[in-house]
Amino acid sequence: MIESIIYKDNKITLLDQTLLPIEEKYISIPDYRTMIEAIKKLRIRGAPAIGIAAAWGIYLAAEEFKDSPDWKEKLEEAISEIEASRPTAVNLFKASGEIKVLLAISDYADCFTETVRDYALKLMEYEKNASVMMGVNGLEEISDNAVNIMTICNTGSLATYGEGTALAVIRALAEKRDITVYACETRPLLQGSRLTMWELMRSGIESRLITDGMTGSIIRDKAIDCIVTGADRIAANGDSANKIGTFNLAVLANHFNIPFYIAAPESTFDRSIKTGAEINIEQRDAEEVKFVRGTQIAPADCKVENPAFDVTPFELITGIITEKKVYKNPDEIHKA
């Protein structure tokens, strides 16, 4: 398992994903401000991993302010800053929300710091176990005849703490049969080509890198059997926000009559919102589209649209694979 975030000897380090696959480098995170920068700059990314990073960021803030007479007020401000770092992934807000509940009933800074540390460690263990069970449930759900699998973005160990979400399902399939994975490059930041291919090759899983524009013809010509992706937030009706381009794959899957699955932990559900229309889609800097690793690829003054995510309606989703079960209709989500 690749560790995207490490807590050891009261120090926190992250595998800087902006440097992969060229350089494998862990960076120190000495304070919550550095953690915010890491989240914003995608040094750590993926909904479950962002939730863990947020918890550790709050821990660092608690450590910093524990000797201050107004430690609670300062900590509340720090939590608000962390929450503003990325708006779409619900795991961040679930972690911060649960910690704020603990903060409200805490009277002693030292004790609260230990409480946050224990919470972060338990969250890491939860995500690790959830990854295993998503793989188990995905293997049981997906047809034994499915050998050509397509995915988008990065949903492996780098995006969580464990085997991943969609990639955990893919790993489980690969352990039982010979499969070939077609990984979309995932423009504009190329998480598929930089990260997913790196993970698949390290795992010895047969894989092919494709550009985002190839998906339709690859599904048709290579007889793709199913598509498995992750999610950053899932509404109460099953509408799922994931990396931009996911909706395209769901439409293509519907056209070609092949299964389209979302794999995500239960923590990705946001049952406080009824539909995907309520999901706040992060709009990122235009420079990400006009430049690739510092090289300009478009007119400097061109106008750009750069939503980081899109929303796939549940009607296009065959099932949502979690560590608990596979959801096939919105009523199951409401009752869970």
**What type of residue sits at position 68?**
S
The pLDDT, as a whole number, for residue 89 is 87
CA distance 135 to 173: 8
Radius of gyration of the chain (CA): 20
Name the phi and psi angles at 193, rounded to 5.
-75, -40
Write down the residue that tokens 């034994």 correspond to.
144
The pLDDT, as a whole number, for residue 300 is 94
Catalytic residue among 67, 110, 118, 232: 232
pTM over 0.75: yes
CA distance 255 to 260: 11
Write down the residue that tokens 């900590």 correspond to.
75
Secondary structure (3-state) at 6: strand
CA distance 154 to 151: 8
CA distance 61 to 113: 9
Instruction: Residue 161: name the closest of 134, 129, 201, 190 by CA.
Output: 129
The pLDDT, as a whole number, for residue 330 is 87
Instruction: Residue 83: name the closest of 310, 282, 284, 287 by CA.
Output: 282
User: Mean pLDDT of successive 10-residue segments in the chain (336 residues)?
Assistant: 92 97 97 98 96 97 94 96 94 96 89 96 96 98 97 97 96 97 98 98 97 98 98 97 98 98 96 96 96 95 97 98 96 80
CA distance 186 to 245: 7
The pLDDT, as a whole number, for residue 184 is 98
Is 221 considered catalytic here? Answer: no
The pLDDT, as a whole number, for residue 97 is 96
Here the tokens at position 221 are 């010509």
The pLDDT, as a whole number, for residue 283 is 96
Instruction: Residue 116: name the closest of 47, 59, 43, 61 by CA.
Output: 59
The pLDDT, as a whole number, for residue 45 is 96
